Chains A and B, each alone.
Chain A
Amino acid sequence: MLALVISHLLVAFLLPPVAMRHTRAAYLVAALPPAAALCWALAHAAAVLAGNQPVERVTWSATLGLEFVFRLDTLALVMTLLVSGIGVLVLLYSRWYFETPSGDAKRSAPLLLAFAGAMFGLVLADHLLTLYIFWELTTICSFLLVGQSGVSRESRRASLQALLVTTLGGLVMLLGFIVLGETSGTYRISELAAEPPTGSAAAIATGLILVGAFTKSAQVPFHNWLPAAMVAPTPISAYLHAASMVKAGVFLVGRLTPVLSEVSYLPVVTAVFGLVTMFVGGWRALREYDLKLLLAYGTVSQLGFLMVLAGSGSYTGELALAGMLLAHGAFKATLFLVIGIVDHQTGTRDIRELSGVGRRLPWVAAMAVLAAMSMAGVPPMIGFVAKEAAFEAYLGAGPAVAVEAGLVLGSVLTVAYTARLLVGGFASKRDTMPTEVHPPPAGMLLPPAVTALLCLALGVAYPVTDELAATYAERSVGHSGEYHLGLWHGFNLPLVFSLITLFGGLTLAAYNAGLNRLRDRLPSPLDAQRGYERVMGSLERLAVGVTGRVQVGSLPTYLGIILLTVLVVPGSVLLIRVTPIEQLRWWDNVLQLPLALVILIAAAGVLRATRRITAVLLVGVIGYAIGGMFIVGGGPDLALTQFLVETLTLIAFVLVLRRLPARFTETPSSLRVRLPKVLISLAGGVFVGFAALIFSSARDTPSAVSGEYLEHAEEGTSATNVVNAIIIDFRAFDTVGELSVLAVAATGVASLVLSARSARRRKHARSDWESLAAAGRAPDERGGKGRT
């Protein structure tokens, strides 16, 4: 399993060079790993249904208890069929959709494949942290896919919104995972399910995890990123926002219901949020004119439906969930791909402009009708079969009645917007000119044809679907196992509900135009998108405010803050734990005296200096004298380094000084400003002096560690220079770490300097060119070209 996941990611990494040359071939290559995954899942399907679930463990870090664990259980099998199956179809479809090898096309093939790999890993994960890693990988892939090249402002905003919302949820979810894992002692989902955690820790963890699931699956109030993300090209929307990624939240709840079976509020919360989402999505879908946006709101609505089922925890509910997952994947993928064809061949997705497309593209329309029938719940489609099971799951008393009523009402909306989609997209309209349609290539028709037929096949061959769904549902606690997915259960309540939804929905669709006029007049006090924008706006204002107060832009202030911190933190420790200064001698070596004198004179000189270069040179003198101290003290290595670094610092100072005024700007300041400066700097100096005395007298014999170093340097590293042995051998890990820090710092400083300069030069370039051109001579080419 790990090999399959890695093969996705590996091929994705190797794909860009192929995509640069043969964009279309890249899509075909990209379809291979998901195809392999699909075949592998199908080959194992029989064994999994019989209860033989393949498990694979790879230890990642034994000390931290981190491991990758993959398990193919029934839920994973259902999701793999969707993720890999639809993945293959979407990749094949993309080969025709991106007809001109644009930048988008080149980027999308590897990203789509990487996304498929991440999603595949996510559904197989049997370890909470493994799951989290793949969860965030899908977030990143979707950010890159929705954002595309980032040229248009719209796509940048949409991708950022998707990233922010889902990452926020992901982080909260990680917190929940950690609470769950730490309190129960294991991060393995199968082990957690065997012994469901109880108590307040599990309740808190559930709340946190649900936030993650709700953001990813676009539940109210986080639903708005999904319609916004529709700026992405249609195949990407079809894959990410219909078939797989947005289902991750529903999948997560489904995956964890056995684990969280002791948490009583889980079904209530998912039912409430799910139903609200179902209404809001359906309601908004009835107003949209863009076919893709209509579908997007439809997806939001369906995700609400799925969320209700995922949290139910009952046998029939889980049965309905598995059926609905398959149904939704099949019909939503078909509809997105079909809308993509319409958009691609007519150039518009607006239902006010489309007319007579069904007559010109009969096959495309037929596929749309099949998928739409499944979405609306018309027999004998899989959508009908699953919806009947959902109605059956909530037959009962008390709160179940409310949920049932909600589901019926939500389904009425579903039927209504399905009718709006079909009529708006394909019917001939009297008052609109027939749209010009180019015939689509045959290859483009194949993927939606497969999924459209699946909508029918899964329904007609309901025993197969039932076998799959029932194996999944059997894990629910105290399952009855009586209900089975089927086309005919006799005259019963669910059938009545199905008829109500169909006729209610069609009636609603018929009067929708009038309703829309009414709706436009209604005030909409709550708008999730406006709420998101307001939150982001106030965050930015807060950031500006904080930065403005913290970054005052005055070097003396920063220095003062640093010195005060040093005085307060280590300084107070020094005062509280007064250590006596022992064995204080005036000097160890007479040569130290003249060196100290040089240092004192130079330090006094720095204070008096009015020219910058004088100050810098005097600081250099101090540095060299300290280097001399090292030589006298018997540390040639230290002295050598001190001299070299001092020289380099001096040179860097001199180089920079070319840009600075020669003299210090001395502004006459009042005593109130100068006194604190003097006090702080004096206190800083006294502190450093005393600290040096105390620290150096605290130890007069070599410590145990130094002794060890001295003893083992020769035999352990065959080095006679102990300093070097420490740097390169004993503490080599530190050295490598410091090297990385140095590399990052150097690169950072260089980019800052270079970017500031190029910005400045651009500003000057135009005005100078104009003035030089006016003066009648060309600018100095050699001077303008920096050798960088």
Chain B
Amino acid sequence: MTDPRASDGRSEAAEGAWFHSDAPAERWLLSGYSRDPRERTILLELVARVVFPTVIVFSVYLLFAGHYRSGGGFSGGLVAGQAFVLRYLAGGRLDDSSTVSMRPPVLIGIGLTTAVLTGLVPVLFGGVVLESASFTFAVPLLGKIKVVSSLFLDIGVYLLILGVVLDLLRTLGSGIEADIAAPGGGPR
């Protein structure tokens, strides 16, 4: 599975030609920009990319399953966040396809707003703050589906936790990495 070209990347880098010859054939498999080839672990990068969607789906499963089995917005958000952590660990901060385009504080804000609005919506219908209601309806092919309004609070939790993890990556992850790479940086 290892790309044979990756191994001789180092000698080509010395000639300055590796950048063109090392471009991946499939865009989704490897990103164009990458860290120094000496630090690159192609296998990990590839595995991270393959596993990533599965982990995200799993996190969404946890989010929806939380009402009935183990899981919930908190665990779901953490799992989704760790999917991004994996991508970061494999690809480094310049692997820009691994991060969501939304800035983490925005994500945190959306999560908090969703949670608070979920609490306030019942007031519009004459209920009490944070009251929950459940709706059951039939969908062709899927059968009977039950939606509980408190699910939206869970979604808010999910988004907020994901935002917090991404913020962690932004500050302690790529932030410190950029710091070390910057002139005058380096470990201390």
User: Residues of A at under 8 Å CB distance from B?
Assistant: 636-637, 640-641, 644-645, 647-648, 651-652, 655-656, 658-659, 661, 717-721, 723-725, 727-729, 732-733, 735-736, 739-740, 742-743, 746-747, 749-750, 753-754, 757, 760-761, 764-765, 767-769, 772, 779-780, 782-788
Contact among A659, A718, A750 with B170 in the assembled complex (CB-CB below 8 Å):
A750
Q: Contacts A718-B134, A757-B175, A772-B183 given; indicate if A787 touches B96 (C-beta within 8 A).
A: yes
Contact among A743, A757, A784 with B160 in the assembled complex (CB-CB below 8 Å):
A743
In the complex, A503→B134 CA distance in Å?
86
Query: Is B183's CB under 8 angstroms from A746's CB?
Result: no
Q: Contacts A727-B74, A739-B157, A742-B164 given; indicate if A787 touches B187 (C-beta within 8 A).
A: no
User: Residues of B at under 8 Å CB distance from A?
Assistant: 66-75, 78-79, 81-82, 85, 89, 93-94, 96, 104-105, 108-109, 111-112, 115-116, 119, 129-130, 132, 134, 146, 148, 150, 153-154, 156-157, 160-161, 163-165, 167-168, 170-185, 187-188
Query: Is A749's CB under 8 angstroms from B66's CB?
Result: no
Q: B150 — which chain A residues lie within 8 A by C-beta? A: 717, 728-729, 732
9 A-B interface contacts by CB (under 8 A):
A641-B78, A721-B71, A727-B72, A728-B73, A732-B153, A764-B184, A764-B185, A784-B183, A785-B178
Query: Is B108's CB under 8 angstroms from A729's CB?
Result: no
By beta carbon, the residue of chain B nearest A659 is B176
6 closest Cβ contacts across the A-B interface? A764-B184, A768-B183, A786-B178, A644-B78, A753-B171, A783-B181
In the complex, A331→B78 CA distance in Å?
67
In the complex, A390→B170 CA distance in Å?
69
Contact among A727, A746, A761, A785 with B167 in the assembled complex (CB-CB below 8 Å):
A746
Contact among B156, B172, B183 with A656 in the assembled complex (CB-CB below 8 Å):
B172
Number of residue pairs A-B, CB distance < 8 angstroms: 180
In the complex, A736→B152 CA distance in Å?
12
In the complex, A97→B179 CA distance in Å?
50
Q: A782 — which chain B residues lie within 8 A by C-beta? A: 94
In the complex, A743→B106 CA distance in Å?
11
Q: B146 — which chain A residues lie within 8 A by C-beta? A: 718
In the complex, A655→B188 CA distance in Å?
14
Q: A724 — which chain B residues lie within 8 A by C-beta? A: 66-67, 71-72, 154
Query: Is B181's CB under 8 angstroms from A728's CB?
Result: no
Q: A733 — which chain B residues lie within 8 A by C-beta? A: 119, 129-130
Query: Is A718's CB under 8 angstroms from B148's CB?
Result: yes
Query: Is B115's CB under 8 angstroms from A659's CB?
Result: no
16 further A-B pairs in the complex, CB-CB below 8 A; given A721-B72, A728-B73, A733-B130: A637-B71, A641-B74, A644-B75, A652-B168, A717-B132, A718-B134, A718-B146, A724-B71, A735-B153, A736-B115, A739-B111, A753-B172, A767-B184, A779-B183, A782-B94, A785-B178
Q: A785 — which chain B residues lie within 8 A by C-beta? A: 178
In the complex, A50→B186 CA distance in Å?
81
Q: Contacts A640-B75, A727-B72 given; indicate if A736 touches B130 (C-beta within 8 A).
A: yes
Give the shortest distance, in Å, between B115 (CB) and chain A (any CB): 5
Q: A764 — which chain B residues lie within 8 A by C-beta? A: 182-185
In the complex, A788→B96 CA distance in Å?
11
In the complex, A285→B81 CA distance in Å?
67
Give the shortest distance, in Å, between A749 (CB) and chain B (any CB): 7
Q: B172 — which chain A residues lie within 8 A by C-beta? A: 652, 655-656, 753
By beta carbon, the residue of chain A nearest B79 is A644
Query: Is B175's CB under 8 angstroms from A747's CB?
Result: no
In the complex, A251→B130 CA distance in Å?
44
Give the shortest distance, in Å, between A113 (CB) and chain B (any CB): 29
Query: Is A732's CB under 8 angstroms from B130's CB?
Result: yes
By beta carbon, the residue of chain B nearest A647 is B82
Q: B81 — which chain A residues lie within 8 A by C-beta? A: 648
In the complex, A749→B81 CA distance in Å?
18
Contact among A636, A651, A661, A787 with B94 in the assembled complex (CB-CB below 8 Å):
A787
Query: Is A750's CB under 8 angstroms from B105's CB?
Result: yes
Query: Is A749's CB under 8 angstroms from B184's CB?
Result: no
Q: A769 — which chain B residues lie within 8 A by C-beta? A: 183
Give the shortest distance, in Å, between A377 (CB) and chain B (any CB): 59
Give the shortest distance, in Å, between B49 (CB) and chain A (any CB): 19
Query: Is A788's CB under 8 angstroms from B174's CB?
Result: yes
Contact among B70, B132, B156, B167 with A721 in the assembled complex (CB-CB below 8 Å):
B70
Q: Contacts A736-B116, A750-B171 given; indicate if A728 touches B94 (C-beta within 8 A).
A: no
By beta carbon, the residue of chain B nearest A753 is B171
By beta carbon, the residue of chain B nearest A768 is B183
Contact among B112, B153, B174 with A728 in the assembled complex (CB-CB below 8 Å):
B153
By beta carbon, the residue of chain B nearest A771 is B183
Give the shortest distance, in Å, between B69 (CB) and chain A (any CB): 6
Query: Is A721's CB under 8 angstroms from B68's CB?
Result: yes
Query: Is A743's CB under 8 angstroms from B68's CB?
Result: no
Q: Contacts A636-B70, A658-B187 given; indicate if A747 touches B108 (C-beta within 8 A).
A: yes
